[in-house]
Amino acid sequence: MATAAATMAVATHHPRARPRLRVCAAWDMNPGAATVAVPKPSKAKAKPPAIPTTPARPPPPTHADLFARSSEGQVDAGGVKKSTYMGFEKWWLPPPPEVKKPRSLYSAASLAYLGDCIYELYARRHFFFPPLSINEYNKRVMDVVKCESQDLLLNKLLGEDFLTEEERDILRWGRNIVSSKTRTRKRAGIAVYNRASSLETLIGYLYLTNFKRLEQLMFQLGFTSGASSQHIADELRSSFQ
């Protein structure tokens, strides 16, 4: 053992002895190693977040769009189309109070008082389009809200056999109204005034009990919601002459 160790020491320090070199190959130079691609930093600028745009508003409806009767609408359980106005179910009057039997709670004069207002509202809506001056509005409306005009329109309904037996009974009930409008009664006459009051009573009654029937009745009288003229007034004037 001592001889072998001495021999190695001599060999190591021998002037002709060469140092041993260790060659280490890098891992990426190994042909069997997989090459990993290092992602390069992107130079593209980040886009700013998209700003939500407000959808364009549709043009405002015209007078004809607002006042034209729409035939389109939803369908109820019975398969009947509901009349709509601006996307809502067509109910342009204030909802009436829930009264099942108006005759047991109100007098005929009370219903006529309500019906007078509703009748005039239909008249004002009828002449509202095309636009007119206030004086012309009042002139046209007054031609159809006075007793003589209401009496003629009631005779029109009776002549066309439009009213039901129940509605005729309401008319008979409304003819017995006692009013303090002596000047109106003197101008038109008691009979004409009573018949006009009975029509207002019927309108007030239908407003509380059957709005759909009220619409049919007023349409039968000639009141519309579309572009109108003096059709009702002209017809009444021809009857006066």
- Distances, alpha carbon 150 to alpha carbons 37, 115, 156, 212, 222, in Å: 95, 12, 10, 21, 12
* Higher-scoring residue by pLDDT: 165, 31: 165
Place of tokens 């409304």: 174
Give residue 182's pLDDT band: very low, low, confident or very high (50, 70, 90): low
**Amino acid 97: pLDDT:** 83
Tell me which DSSP letter residue 27 carries: G
**Is residue 161 annotated as a catalytic residue, yes or no?**
no
**pLDDT at 147 exceeding the cut of 70:** yes
* Higher-scoring residue by pLDDT: 182, 73: 182
Residues 216 and 200: their CA atoms lie apart, in Å, by 15
User: What is the Cα 180 distance to its own chain's centre?
Assistant: 42
Instruction: Given the residues 116, 143, 151, 161, select the one marked as catalytic.
Output: 116
Q: Quick check: 177 and 194 in contact, CB under 8 A?
A: yes
Q: CB-based contacts of 17: which residues, under 8 Å, 6+ apart? A: 11
Residues 84 and 91: their CA atoms lie apart, in Å, by 8
Residues 232 and 236: their CA atoms lie apart, in Å, by 6
pLDDT > 90 in the chain, percent: 37
Residues 173 and 165: their CA atoms lie apart, in Å, by 12
Q: CB-based contacts of 121: which residues, under 8 Å, 6+ apart? A: 93
Domain ranges within the chain, ordered by starting residue:
107-240
Tens-digit pLDDT profile for residues 37-68: 666 666 666 677 777 666 676 665 544 454 44
The HSE-up count of residue 21 (CA atoms within 13 Å, CB side) is 4
Tens-digit pLDDT profile for residues 169-180: 999 999 987 766
Q: Enter the tokens of residue 100.
A: 């099942």
Q: Enter the tokens of residue 160.
A: 């066309």
> Residue 149 class from Cβ within 10 Å (0-12 exposed, 13-18 middle, 19+ buried)?
buried
**Amino acid 134: pLDDT:** 95
Residues 94 and 66: their CA atoms lie apart, in Å, by 18
Helices (H) and strands (E) in the chain, counts: 11, 2
Tens-digit pLDDT profile for residues 79-109: 545 555 444 455 677 888 888 899 999 999 9
Domain at 107-240, CATH from 1.10.1520.10, 3.30.230.70, 3.40.50.300, 3.90.1010.10:
1.10.1520.10
